[in-house]
Structure 1
Amino acid sequence: MKTAIMGFGNPVRSDDAIGIYVIEKLKEKIGTNPKISIFDMGTSAFEVLFGLKGHDKLILVDAVVNTNEPVGTLFKVPAEEVLQAPQDNPLVFLHSLKWNQALSYAKKILGDAYPKDIAVYLIAIENTKLEVELSLEVQQSGDKVIELIVNELQITA
């Protein structure tokens, strides 16, 4: 089984960078593994369509705002809960596409080649100011996600 791990976020928007933090730490822990692809997606989304091909499992990590939960709260959400139906409008501006919308397009385009096992980790944030530091609570949740992923994939360091 081949797994894709994708982290999203803006590295200069404080806690929004948590997905990138998780990806960087996983690259250090995992190194090169032919069964695991690690993608630093930054603020990209449409690339999701092409990065998924050939993978059976997908793990996404991103920040989420306005949850009414304490900063650093970790959510593991079934992908079906966050997918948005694709717009069949040819005028959809792809650079503003979110990863959940991109997953909907990927599912439609890839058909049977779309990963069957998808996990989404979201971490509650508030601070998206122009800063490069993560808050302690969000970083600790990111570390927990790393631990969960390493355990799930049975990776030995």
Structure 2
Amino acid sequence: MSGRVVVIGVGNPLRGDDGVGPAAVEALRDRVPHGTALAVSDGEPARLLDLWRGADTVIMVEALRTRSARPGELHILSAADAASRTAATASTHALGLGECLALAAALDQLPPRLVVHAMEVADVELGEGLSEAVRAVLPELIDRVAASVRQAHGPDREQ
């Protein structure tokens, strides 16, 4: 696949592990092909829809906190998977990812391809800094997101 690729790190670095999305995007700055749009968002749906407008592929990086998972566990989700898995979870954003994706679908504004790289997190209390469990797995998350970006751009795209 090729076309406009947007990577969005969703989260708030002032809420502990919720900053994993922005941290991953910052680390990607020199690791993705030229022309890849990198952005950070607080998760507000209207801003997310604006960020991915006109994109062929959107890759989101998001914190996830489910009941049964362990901190640092990684997930790669389609838009449908992300909407169903995050519908019953708590969010530090005004609306969660599930609601945002449902809104985008209702408005016919989902991008042609959307992938969510999510990491289970431990601590989303007020305060800066990632927990040890999240910091330990962050390099693997960054590698996975970079691989998704390269795949979206296709084999002939240089950095």
TM-score band, normalised by the shorter chain? 0.7 to 0.9
Q: 2:133 aligns with which of 137, 150, 153?
A: 137
The separation in 2 between residues aligned to 1:96 and 1:57, in whole angstroms, is 25
Structure 1 or 2, whichever has the larger Rg, is 1
Within a 5 Å distance, the mapping from 1:106-145 to structure 2 comes to: 106-110=104-108, 114-145=110-141
Amino acid at match of 1:7: G
2:90 corresponds in structure 1 to none
Amino acid at match of 1:107: A
The separation in 1 between residues aligned to 2:42 and 2:30, in whole angstroms, is 18
The separation in 1 between residues aligned to 2:30 and 2:103, in whole angstroms, is 31
Q: Which deviates more, 115-124 or 99-108?
A: 99-108
Aligned CA-pair RMSD:
2.3
Amino acid at match of 1:132: E
1:56 corresponds in structure 2 to 56
Q: Report deviation, 1:122.
A: 1.2
1:96 maps to 2:113 = no
- TM-score normalised by the chain length of structure 1: 0.78
1:151 maps to 2:144 = no
1:89 corresponds in structure 2 to none
The separation in 1 between residues aligned to 2:40 and 2:113, in whole angstroms, is 20
Q: Report deviation, 1:19.
A: 0.6
1:88 corresponds in structure 2 to none
1:92 corresponds in structure 2 to none
The separation in 2 between residues aligned to 1:105 and 1:45, in whole angstroms, is 8
Give 5+ residue unaligned stretches, structure 2: 85-92, 151-156
Q: Report deviation, 1:21.
A: 0.5
The separation in 2 between residues aligned to 1:45 and 1:143, in whole angstroms, is 27
Q: Report deviation, 1:156.
A: 6.2
Assess if the C-alpha contact under 8 Å between 2:59 and 2:114 holds in 1: yes
Q: Report deviation, 1:134.
A: 0.8
Q: What is the identity percentage for the equivalent residue pairs of Structure 1 and Structure 2?
A: 21
- TM-score normalised by the chain length of structure 2: 0.77
The separation in 1 between residues aligned to 2:16 and 2:97, in whole angstroms, is 19
Matched positions, count = 143
Give 5+ residue unaligned stretches, structure 1: 85-94
Other structure's SS at 2:62 match: strand
The separation in 1 between residues aligned to 2:126 and 2:49, in whole angstroms, is 29
